[in-house]
Amino acid sequence: MAVRYLLDTNTASYVIKGNLPRVRERLVAIPLAEIAISVVTEAELWFGVERRPDAPKLHPAVEEFLLRINKPAWDSECARQYARLRTALEAHGEPVGNLDLMIAAQALALEATLITSDRVFRRIKELNIEDWTKP
């Protein structure tokens, strides 16, 4: 089964922390094989763990989440999408942070919908986006 949804870092955080029940409700309604995160999101999640040594429950929660979620490789097609997107956005004076751009590029390469509440992704017109924090 192909990946249909790529969770952005903020959505993965909502799932891990459980602080937005509607996000989890949407997640459990979809076969796990259709959901993934970018390895860029994985890196950001580990960065969050490292930054918060005072949150002892965070490390096992992130680890448990990462055991269950697909993490497709960030490959040459992602790299090509990244270069194309970055060039176009910079030419229009609308740069996007490099990590967000890498996540968007992977969503495009996978032909997946990016699940995010981060408005910066709206600058990428060809990107399919859903915000599961909204009813």
What is the DSSP annotation of 54-114?
A: T-TTHHHHHHHHHHHSB-----HHHHHHHHHHHHHHHHTT----HHHHHHHHHHHHHT-EE
Residue 108: band (very low, low, confident or very high) from pLDDT cuts 50, 70, 90: very high
The CATH number covering residue 126 comes to 3.40.50.1010
**Across 68-95, average pLDDT:** 96
- State the pLDDT at residue 128: 97
Provide the pLDDT for residue 53. Answer: 84
In a domain, 28, yes or no: yes
- What's the pTM? 0.94
Residue 75 lies in a domain: yes
Query: Is residue 57 included in any domain, yes or no?
Result: yes
105 in any annotated domain: yes
**Residue 106 within any structural domain of the chain:** yes
Q: What is the pLDDT of residue 112?
A: 98
* Interatomic CA distance for residues 60 and 44, integer angstroms: 15
Domain with 100 in it: 5-130
The pLDDT value recorded for residue 135 is 83
* DSSP code at position 37: E
pLDDT higher than 80, residue 1? no
- Please state the domain count of the chain: 1
Percent of the chain surpassing pLDDT 90 = 90
pLDDT at 55: 84
Q: Is residue 22 part of a domain?
A: yes
**DSSP label at 117?**
-
Tell me if 135 is assigned to some domain: no
Host H or E run for residue 14: helix 9-17
Average pLDDT, the chain: 95
**Residue 131 and residue 118: Cα distance in Å, rounded?**
8
Assess whether pLDDT exceeds 90 at residue 65: yes
Residue pointed to by tokens 């580990």: 46
Phi, psi of 35 (to 5 degrees): -120, 140
